[in-house]
Amino acid sequence: MRLHVADHPLVAHKLTVLRDATTASPTFRLLVDELVTLLAYEATRDVRTREVDVQTPVAQTRGVKLADPRPIVVPILRAGLGMLDGMTRLLPTAEVGFLGMQRDETTLEAVTYANRLPEDLSGRQCYLLDPMLATGGTLVAAIDYLLQRGARDVTAVCLLAAPEGLATVERFVGDRVDVSVVVAAVDERLNEKAYIVPGLGDAGDRLYGIV
């Protein structure tokens, strides 16, 4: 597993405002969108391309376009939806799948309740979107879901991660497949309720309110 922590003043600034408990949902949603676009820039450094000929107003030259098969972006519902626009802004031609997962607050295990994904992901670069990498259970379950469909190149984009969650993903992945995790910051720890400390609270509730 490869970990990339985005080290940039704008990332740190936006993350600071997201952490603030007084930041209202509309501002929170806007900042998540902006922050994910910055993270997407880092996450797509290894996106596959192919060379093409292009005619400029002056001369012919060589350039690159995204290679086939197209990448697929997979937000983990519901909080991952708040990251989708920021990601597809940089990858507008990517396909979008959906994976509905939630954490059982008693067992802390991830439960899958919906999916909208191709049956065969062989050869596809997959980008998972989930704001918080806390215990790692949800992300491991999502990665496993993609691997069962043939994916071998998975990048997870998260706002925050806890060391415990990163260790869980590392243990699961090992050296079997190419998995990367791109985050804005790695925080101190998890508390007794498995929330990231200092964190930013429940990302889904802060994006969409408590339902």
Q: What is the pLDDT of residues 47-81, one digit of tens each?
A: 999 999 999 999 999 999 999 999 999 999 888 99
Predicted confidence (pLDDT) per residue in 77-112, tens digit: 888 999 999 999 999 999 999 998 776 666 656 677
Write the single-letter amino acid at 39: L
Instruction: Find out whether 138 is annotated in a ligand binding site.
Output: yes
Instruction: Find out whether 203 is annotated in a ligand binding site.
Output: yes
Confidence band for 188, pLDDT divided at 50, 70 and 90: very high
Residue positions annotated with a catalytic role: 103, 107, 202, 205
Strands (E) across 1-91 are located at: 2-5, 49-55, 60-66, 72-77
- What pLDDT shows up at residue 114? 77
Instruction: Find out whether 130 is annotated in a ligand binding site.
Output: yes
pTM listed for this prediction: 0.91
Instruction: Find out whether 82 is annotated in a ligand binding site.
Output: no
Euclidean distance between CA atoms 147 and 39, whole angstroms:
23
Give all domains of the chain, ordered by start, each with its CATH number.
Answer: 2-49+66-201 (3.40.50.2020)
The strand pairing partners of 51, in sequence order, are: 64
